[in-house]
Amino acid sequence: MLPQKQRIPKALAREVFGRGAVGFSPNFLLKTLKSPDGQTRFAVSISKKVAPTAVLRNRTRRRVYSVIRNLWPKIKHGFLIAITVKKGGEKLPYADIVKEIDGLLSRARLY
């Protein structure tokens, strides 16, 4: 997990999911929005339709947060970034998750 101050609070998460700029990959959806306080924050969401058990949802969320933690030094500051896992994303090996999220962030010009 990321520290609490690097995660998006629920009130802001609704705004990011509603108004954020969208980026797609086969297994992930990326939404970005300028941060009102200038800090970069992340949120990862995964539906019960994608991963029916809490164990699978939490494992997938932890893996995505781990990728984000490793890419953190390269990411520009001042954005709220929300990543939604699509169907199939919960089954990906770690290396593929890294490639897809890295590609999403670079296409969104967050490096």
What domains are there in the chain, each with its CATH number?
Answer: 4-107 (3.30.230.10)
Residue 78, pLDDT > 90, answer yes
Token pair for 33: 């929005």
CB 80 within 8 A of CB 20: yes
Q: What are the tens digits of pLDDT across the range 93-104?
A: 999 999 999 999
Report the C-alpha gap between 53 and 46 in whole angstroms.
11
Closest to 105 in 3D by CA, of 70, 81, 78: 81
Q: What are the tens digits of pLDDT across the range 44-58?
A: 999 999 999 999 999
Write down the pLDDT at residue 11. Answer: 87
CB 89 within 8 A of CB 28: yes
Q: What percent of the chain has pLDDT over 70?
A: 100
Please state at what angle helix 54-71 crosses helix 94-107, rounded to 10 degrees: 60
Average pLDDT over all residues of the chain = 95
Q: What are the tens digits of pLDDT across the range 7-35?
A: 999 889 999 999 999 999 999 999 999 99
Write down the pLDDT at residue 74. Answer: 94
Write down the pLDDT at residue 1. Answer: 80
